[in-house]
Amino acid sequence: MNLRLSVRKRDAAIVVHVGGDIDITSIFDLYDFLLLMVEGRSRLRVNLADVDFMDSTGIFGLMRARATVRDRGHDLVFEKPSERVAHVLDVIGLSLDAV
């Protein structure tokens, strides 16, 4: 598994910086981590600038995390996708807002 995570606070939000690969070997850990980070906070931002690779499992996992967080009354925003991630999303017809 090649997944790197770091956390910092920006204004009222927690920002999770994700690096490496988001795929079947890492998405479950990332999903659990995002749900843990949003507890007790209203907004979570996920910076995807350093993501090297993301497969369909990763895309589905991020969509699921966002839906779960929103169902719990919080907000999860994805920002700054790497060029590779932006390309994958473009190829399948998803914008970052749709993820």
pLDDT at 58: 92
Domain boundaries, the chain: 3-98
pLDDT at 89: 80
User: Using CA atoms in the order 71, 12, 82, 59, what is the torsion angle rounded to 10 degrees?
Assistant: -10
pLDDT at 16: 96
Counting as low any pLDDT under 50, the low residues of the chain are 99
Q: Which of 48, 58, 52, 51 is nearest to 24 (CA)?
A: 58
Top CATH class of 3-98 equals alpha beta
pLDDT at 42: 79
> Mean pLDDT score of the chain, rounded to an integer?
89
Q: Answer yes or no: are the C-beta atoms of 58 and 91 closer than 8 Å.
A: no
